[in-house]
Amino acid sequence: MIPSTHMLPRADRVRAPAAAPAAPARMHIVVTGHVDHGKSTVIGRLLADTGSLPEGKLEAVRLACERNAKPFEYAFLLDALKDEQAQGITIDAARVFFKTPRRQYVILDAPGHIEFLKNMITGASSAEAALLVIDAQEGVQENSRRHGFMLSMLGVSQIAVVVNKMDLVEYRQEAFERIVAEQGEFLARFGVTPQCFVPVSGLMGENIVASSRSLAWYRGPTVLEALETFENRAPLTSAAFRMPVQGVYKFTEHHDTRRIVAGTVESGRISAGDEVIFYPSGKKSRVERLEGFNQPSRTEAFAAEAVGFTLTDQIYIGRGEIAAMTGQRKPHVSTRMKVSLFWLGRTALAMRKQYLLKLGTGRVPFTVEQIHRIVDASDLSTSETRTTVERHEVAECTLALSRPLAFDTADECPPTGRFVIVDNFEISGGGIVRQALPDNQTWVREKVLNRNYKWEPGSVSAERRMERYSQKPVLLVITGDTDADRKGLARDLEARLFDEGRHVYFLGIGNVLYGVDADIERTGVNRPEHLRRLGEVANILLDAGLIVIATAAALTQEDVEVIRTSVGSDRVMAVWLGDRMTTDLTSDLALTQLEADAEGANRLKDLLHDCGAIFKPW
C-alpha cells in the first residue's frame, strides 16, 4: 500500500525554500493623538515637504482657500486628496502614500478611536508603527494616553511621539521636556518606550522633513528621519499558514463543477500540492491550483496576497472558516475565549446582552460571560468588581460565542487574533484574543476534528447529492416527555416524506445503543458518549444525502449540543414533543401530544421547508 502523503514524515516532503516575493519595501504608519493636536497637519506637511503631492495640488488648495477667504491649512490637503480618490484616482479615504528612497509609506490618518480600530483591525494591512501627536501647548490629554495604551494593546511597539505646535510655546525646550517626561512616564507604566520624541511645528514645517533652526537645542531626528528608523516587521511568510475564507466561488464556464476558495493570505505561504485544513470544520483537502485574480496563475502565494485556489477533493466549506496547513500549528477552535477589548459603544457593554464578533471573515454572536478587570486607559486605574464596561474603557473579559470559531491568540498570529465587536450594525469595540478557553464541547470537537481530518471523501460531492435528491440533508431530533409518542411521530413523518419522493431515514436511539454502543454501559455517565455516537451515525447518513429523523427521550440543551458538535450545528433541528417541558432545551419547535396527533407531520414538514431542507412542491 502506498501511504498517503500526509502520513509521510515532514522531512520527506520539504521543498526547496522559495524566496518570498521581492518585497516592495512598504511601511504602514498610523497617526494618532488627541483631537486638534495636528495629526492631519503633520501628514499634510510630510506629503508637501517630501514633494509627494500631485503636481499643482498645493497651489490649488491655497487658491481655493483664498477664494473662500479661509486661512490655508495643511490638513485640507488630505481632504483634497480624499476628494480625488472619490473620483477614482489615487488615494482612499483612510490612507495616503509617499515614498522615500528607502521605502514606500502608507500613512493612516486616525482622527478618532473608531477609525483607529478599523484601520488596525479591519484594514487591509495594520500599522507597524505609529506617530503619536501631542500639542505642546495643550500638553498630554486623555487621548494621548488612551491611544498610547491602545497601540500597546494592539502590539504596535514602534512609536515616535511628535510634540507639535512648538511655535505656540516659542520653541522652548522646557515645554518639550515637560511632555517628554509626562508621556514617557505614562507609556512606561505598561512597558512602552517610544523610539524618540520629536519637537515640531507642523504649521511652520519645522522638524518635519527639514531640521529646524528654531529648535537648535534639539539633536534628535526629524519626523521623516524617525519614520526611516522604524524597522519593517519580519514578514509573516515564515509563520504558520492562515487564510480566512472570503468565499467559495463557482467557475462560470459551462459544465465546470470546480470551486475556487478565495481569501487573503494573512500569514505564511501556500503552494499547489499543499494539504490544507479548514477550521472550525476540520475538513481537509489538497491545493490543486492557485488562481490569480487578473494575474497569470502561479504556483505560490504569500502573506498579504489575495489568492484563490481549487482543491483536489470536493469538500463543503464556506466563508468564515480559516484555512491552515497540515504539519503546522493549528488555530484554536472554541466557543470561549479570554480577550482584552476596547469599548466604544454609546451604551455600556453589558453582560448577557448579545453582540456580534467579527474575526477574520467569521462573524459569530456572543455574550460576555465574565468581566475580569476594567482599566481606564487614560489613567490606568482598574476595577475588578464592575459588571458593565463604559465607553472608552479597556476590559479583560471572557466571551461566550454562540457557535465555535477558529482563531489564534494575538501573540501567535496578530491578524487572526484581533476582532471587532458590532452592536446594532455599528462597530462598537475591538480587541485581541489573549487565550483560548475550553468549553464543555471540547472533548467532542477534538474527535470531530480528527474524524474530519481522516475522512475519506467519495467521488460524489455533497452538492451533487443535493441536486440529485432535491433536498438538503438535515438531522431532525425529536425529543420530549418520556411518555410522549416520539417514535410514532417520527415514523409518520418518515412515511410521509418517503411517499413524496424524499430520501429519508428514521434512526431511533435504540438502533445505536445496542449495536454501535455495545461496548459501553447504558449509564448516566456514558450518556454524552452515547449521544456523540448517535451524532456520528447520523453524520454518515447525512453525508449520504439523507434527511435523518432521530428520537431520544428528555434531551437537555447540553445533550443536543453534543449532537450538534458531531454533526455541525447548522444541520440539526430539535423538536420537543409533550405537554410539559421537562428539560432546559431550547427547541426549534415544541408540540403538545394533541397537536402532534392532529398535524404533527405537517408541522415538521413546515419546519423542514423553513430551514431549506426540502422545497415546497411547485
Interface residues with Mg ion (CB under 5 A) are 39-40, 111
User: How many CB atoms are located within 10 Å of the residue 613 CB?
Assistant: 21
The only residue of 38, 244, 263, 545 in contact with ligand GTP, by rule CB under 6 A: 38
Stretch that binds ligand GTP, among 3-11, 39-47, 86-94, 238-246 (CB under 6 A): 39-47
CB of 200 to ligand GTP, least distance (A): 7
- Contacted by 73, from Mg ion, ligand GTP, none: CB < 5 to 8 Å by type: ligand GTP
Comparing CA positions, the residue from 328, 327, 322 lying closest to residue 261 is 322
> Total residues at the site for ligand GTP (CB under 6 A)?
18
Q: Which three cell numbers stand for residue 336?
A: 470561549
Residue with smaller CB distance to Mg ion, 76 or 355: 76
Residue with smaller CB distance to Mg ion, 111 or 205: 111
CB of 43 to Mg ion, least distance (A): 8
Stretch that binds ligand GTP, among 33-41, 302-310, 317-325, 428-436 (CB under 6 A): 33-41
Half-sphere exposure of 580 (CA within 13 A, CB side): 5
Q: Is 320 among the residues that bind ligand GTP (CB under 6 A)?
A: no
DSSP annotation of 201 reads: B
CB of 225 to ligand GTP, least distance (A): 18
Residue with smaller CB distance to ligand GTP, 165 or 269: 165
- Contacted by 472, from Mg ion, ligand GTP, none: CB < 5 to 8 Å by type: none
- The residue type found at 608 is L
- Contacted by 165, from ligand GTP, Mg ion, none: CB < 5 to 8 Å by type: ligand GTP
Provide Rg for the chain, Cα atoms. Answer: 29
Stretch that binds ligand GTP, among 195-203, 459-467, 553-561, 585-593 (CB under 6 A): 195-203
DSSP H or E stretch at residue 538? helix 527-543
Beta bridge partners of 206: 201
Q: Between residue 121 and residue 180, which ones bind ligand GTP under the rule CB under 6 A? A: 164-165, 167-168
DSSP annotation of 329 reads: P
- Break the chain down into helix, strand, coil percent, rounded to 5: 30, 30, 40
CB of 33 to Mg ion, least distance (A): 9
User: Which residue's C-beta sits nearest to Mg ion?
Assistant: 40
Task: Determine the distance from the C-alpha atom of residue 220 to the mean position of all C-alpha atoms in its chain, rounded to a whole number.
Answer: 40
Residue 323 · residue 241 · CB < 8 Å: yes
Each residue of 169-194: b (16+ CB within 10 Å) or e? Answer: bebeeebbebbbeebeebbeeeebeb
Residue 478 · residue 490 · CB < 8 Å: yes
**What is the C-alpha separation between 387 and 164, in angstroms, rounded?**
39
CB of 141 to Mg ion, least distance (A): 15
CB of 542 to ligand GTP, least distance (A): 54
- Residues of this chain that interact with ligand GTP (CB under 6 A) are 33, 35-41, 73, 75, 111, 164-165, 167-168, 201-203
